[in-house]
Amino acid sequence: MVQATGIKGKIAWCISPLLCGVTTVYNVVGAGLRRSGWEVSAVTTGADGGGEPVPGFSDQFSKVLVPGASDVYQNAAAFVRWVVEREIDVVFCTGQMFTIAAAPALPARVRIINRCGSMTHHTYALAATNLNRIDRIIAETPRERRDLVRDWKVPPGKCAVIPGGVEVETLTPGTIRDFNGLLRLVYVGRLDDISKAVMMLPKIANRLIRAKVDFHFDIIGDGPDKDRLVDAFAHAHLNARVTFHGTLRREEALPLLQRAHLFVLPSRYEGVPWALLETMACGCVPIVSRIAGTTDYVVDHGINGLLCTVGRTSEFAESIVDLAADRKRLETLSASAIRTIRDRFTVERVVRDHEDLLQALLAHEPPAYAPIPLSEIQLPKLSSPTWRRFVPQGVKNYVRTWAERFNRSV
């Protein structure tokens, strides 16, 4: 149990600074927990491509334990020693291999919480690793919890649903959105076609041109498919219709979000995208893929946004065309999107949910557990069929697209 030290407890939040979504959760929830009296440190190593913290995605509480090192065993051992020296009470693991390898060697008094931020086979395998040692898995959606319990044999009592939350007051729009002017579309997030299906964006834009919709697309973010995406817009002669802003700090992106009308997200799979919550809080109407138990957990079709069939470009374009022609409905959906975030997805709620979970764990003595010696640390054996690595990415994308239409995670 936590001793009386003037703080509620010490938390080590493991992050990969290059993964914006993972670090966004830490930045938002970690800051809220600090305000509530917890000591929260972000931890990474040289493993998993984490490297040095990236400006804008880390803070003064971030710590690189073994700069430049890529040996998982070395990093895992260093992490265990650091946790013991700092007398850490809770470790948040968000899928970093060094943390997963270290978990069996951590003292029994240390509570371990795994986070599941998406709905892929690999993400589920990471979240369900060390089931005999971890205390809780936090899923962001009912879909993730269902899959973990049903398909990965996670005990229901070990799996909690805590969706994201945003600072509504700093995001609520002012008077810069013109519902009668040029239709402004925005995409915010990782430029990755595997999960986000970003290569659909120029195809959607092309259909809007043919439908004679006057629009401009602001694309915020970076990722492995940025060059392909830039080339696709150029090849379609759409350069005048799109602006690539790269990675922006929140305060830099805010004016763009506050004037945008629509947030377009054609993902093949998701958790609860924090970009979705932030853009809705700004009054952007979401036009997003219908991912059962995930996006439809946030977006109520026809009430606060529109849901489209995964992979169906024509449906995304038609939804945008309809709203371009009905600005009164667009304004109504925008107001409803803001209300949804105010009612259900505030930072106050997500911090409170995390604190309730932490206090419940620390209120009781930890289960008996004999940690393994540092010399016995080994990489976890994740459940992943070897045939997957030989399947072309295009085939995987096709399978994911169709599987999602039948409410299945692959």
Residue 358 sits in a domain whose CATH number is 3.40.50.2000
pLDDT, residue 51, reads: 46
Inter-CA distances, 292 with 49, 318, 404, 406, Å: 32, 21, 8, 9
- Total domains in the chain come to 2
Note down the domain range covering 123.
10-165+347-379
Q: Are residues 128 and 223 in the same domain?
A: no
pLDDT, residue 395, reads: 54
pLDDT digit string, tens, across residues 15-25: 876 556 678 78
pLDDT, residue 119, reads: 83
pLDDT, residue 407, reads: 61
Q: Which residues of 260-283 are buried (b: 16+ CB within 10 A; e: fewer)?
A: bbbbbbbbbbbbbbbbbbbbbbbb
Q: Are residues 79 and 192 in the same domain?
A: no
First to last CA, the chain: 39
Q: Are residues 99 and 150 in the same domain?
A: yes
Inter-CA distances, 110 with 12, 85, 90, 103, 107, Å: 10, 12, 6, 9, 6
Q: Is residue 130 part of a domain?
A: yes
Q: Is residue 221 part of a domain?
A: yes
Give the distance between the most distant pair of CA atoms in the chain. Answer: 67
Inter-CA distances, 385 with 115, 388, 399, Å: 22, 6, 15
| pLDDT by residue, tens only, the chain of 410 residues | 455 457 899 999 998 765 566 787 888 899 999 999 999 999 988 654 444 445 555 577 778 888 777 788 999 999 999 999 999 999 999 888 899 999 999 999 999 999 998 888 888 999 999 999 999 999 999 899 999 999 999 999 999 999 999 888 888 766 589 999 999 999 999 999 998 999 999 999 999 999 999 999 999 999 999 999 999 999 999 999 999 999 998 889 999 999 999 999 999 988 788 899 999 999 999 999 999 888 999 999 999 999 999 999 999 999 999 999 999 999 999 999 999 999 999 999 999 999 999 999 999 999 889 999 999 998 877 655 554 555 555 555 555 555 555 565 55
Q: Is residue 389 part of a domain?
A: no
Q: Are residues 193 and 287 in the same domain?
A: yes
pLDDT, residue 393, reads: 56
pLDDT, residue 389, reads: 54
Q: Which of 344, 370, 389 marks a domain boundary?
A: 344
Mean pLDDT of the chain: 88
Q: Is residue 393 part of a domain?
A: no
What the block records as the tokens of 320 is 């945008």
Q: Are residues 124 and 267 in the same domain?
A: no
- Rounded CA-CA distance 53/62 in Å is 7
pLDDT, residue 267, reads: 94
Q: Are residues 160 and 174 in the same domain?
A: no
Q: Are residues 160 and 172 in the same domain?
A: no
- Rounded CA-CA distance 28/36 in Å is 13
Q: Are residues 126 and 251 in the same domain?
A: no
Q: Is residue 124 part of a domain?
A: yes
Inter-CA distances, 268 with 4, 290, 395, Å: 47, 9, 13
pLDDT digit string, tens, across residues 145-189: 999 999 999 999 999 999 999 888 888 766 589 999 999 999 999
pTM of the predicted model as reported, rounded to 2 decimal places: 0.82
Q: Are residues 51 and 158 in the same domain?
A: yes
pLDDT, residue 399, reads: 56
Q: Are residues 16 and 100 in the same domain?
A: yes
Q: Are residues 256 and 115 in the same domain?
A: no
pLDDT, residue 171, reads: 81
Handedness of CA 28, 30, 34, 37 (dihedral sign): positive
Q: Are residues 21 and 113 in the same domain?
A: yes
Instruction: Say what the alpha-carbon torsion angle 226, 232, 238, 244 is, to the nearest 10 degrees.
Output: 0
pLDDT, residue 50, reads: 46
Q: Is residue 75 part of a domain?
A: yes
Q: Is residue 117 part of a domain?
A: yes
